[in-house]
Amino acid sequence: MIVNDSGLGGTLANEWRKAIPEKRDRLQSRVLVWVVGSSVLLFSLFLLVAAIATRHYRSELMALKALGVSLTFAGIVWALRAATPMAAVYGGSICFIVTVGTGRTNESLLRSGLAPLFLLFLLTFIASRAGRARKAALGLAENKRGRNAAQVLANLGMAGLIVVAAFLDFIDWAGRGVGLISFSAGVMPVLLLAALCEATADTVSSEIGAAFGGRPFLLTTFRRVEPGTDGAVSLLGTVAGIVAAALISGVGMWATHMERRESEIALAGGLAGLIFDSVLGATAERRGWLGNDLVNFSSTVFAVAVALLLAR
């Protein structure tokens, strides 16, 4: 049973508490923003232009409705101080990509990746606020301005890139669905859901574990460590993360017309990513090789890889 309590990256005063040198950590986060952030922004713009250029009423309407919902979503996230302005922009772009990429022109927008994405935000927002006083005392509370751009992209960037990957195979898949972008044999929605399951499980487990999990231990040595230690794990946080991922999997199954077996594969991939996150945190992150943002992004990549292996 595990939870990565290192996902918060809090600091006391201006003290740098991470194993990785500050400059290296910032460089890794910036590269993540440059590469993944630029990709989702450009692709979201491309999707909007492509939908309008088709001159197909349903595609245009779907894209415009998805744009409105995504802008509203980004505004709410920023107003609640759950994310910085730029982080909200990236989150809104990913919301638009996921909604258009998994939706169908003849159905409600909720019958797409939008539903599990909304649930992800709700669960992580509640978990972040839970036990805030204790987390603040330990120096583990989330920044009052909310998550920054690198943190949002580390958790959700892979979800957007999955849709980008689907578009690259659009010519092979054209005509197999009624959406603006179709998916081959339902594989891509499974991978998308796996990434969302991992991101939810990681954040919820970290936040709940830090607030109520007591003194955690390292998965690699099973020794007790202080809260906030890279790769630290706790039973309560893990259970919370598993439950949260299961909820995402269930909602995603309904929203994307997925079979139960496919949702179970997505859940398995997400939980495998959670384990990988803790192992990577206890090894590469503790040695100062990787920063938390790159660890989180790598974990979603691992979740997708496991889900793809199981799906095949």
Strands (E), the chain: 217-218, 232-233
Three-class SS of residue 156? helix
Q: What is the pLDDT of residue 184?
A: 54
Distance (Å) of CA 22 to CA 7, 18, 91, 153: 16, 8, 25, 19
Per-residue tokens: 83: 């994310």
Q: CB–CB of 278/231 below 8 Å?
A: yes
The DSSP symbol for 142 reads: P
Q: What is the pLDDT of residue 213?
A: 82
Per-residue tokens: 45: 């713009």
pTM summary value = 0.90
Q: What is the mean pLDDT of each run of 10 residues along the chain (312 residues)?
A: 42 65 95 97 92 80 94 95 95 96 91 97 94 76 84 97 80 45 67 97 94 88 86 93 98 96 97 97 94 97 96 85
Q: How many other C-beta atoms are found inside a 10 Å radius of the C-beta of residue 72?
A: 12
Q: Per-residue pLDDT tens for 50-96?
A: 888 877 778 889 999 999 999 999 999 999 999 999 999 999 999 99
Q: Per-residue pLDDT tens for 22-51?
A: 999 999 999 999 999 999 999 999 989 988
The DSSP symbol for 233 reads: E
Distance (Å) of CA 239 to CA 3, 54, 95, 246, 271: 9, 46, 27, 11, 11
Q: What is the pLDDT of residue 229?
A: 85
Cβ-in-10-Å burial (0-12, 13-18, 19+) of 222 comes to exposed
Three-class SS of residue 147? strand
Q: What is the pLDDT of residue 170?
A: 58
* CA 195 – CA 71 distance, rounded (Å): 22
Q: CB–CB of 4/278 below 8 Å?
A: yes
Q: What are the domain boundaries of the chain? A: 5-11+18-311
User: What percent of the residues of the chain are helix, what percent strand, and what percent coil, each to the nearest 5?
Assistant: 70, 0, 30
Per-residue tokens: 183: 């998916």
Q: CB–CB of 255/31 below 8 Å?
A: no
Per-residue tokens: 228: 């906030």
Q: Which long-range contacts (CB under 8 A, 24 or more apart) does 283-287 make?
A: 283/220, 283/231, 285/6, 285/19, 285/20, 285/230, 285/231, 286/19, 286/229, 286/230, 286/231, 287/19
Q: CB–CB of 209/278 below 8 Å?
A: no
Containing H/E element for 64?
helix 57-79
User: Considering Cα of 13, then 133, then 208, then 94, what sign does the dihedral take?
Assistant: negative
Q: What is the pLDDT of residue 8?
A: 40
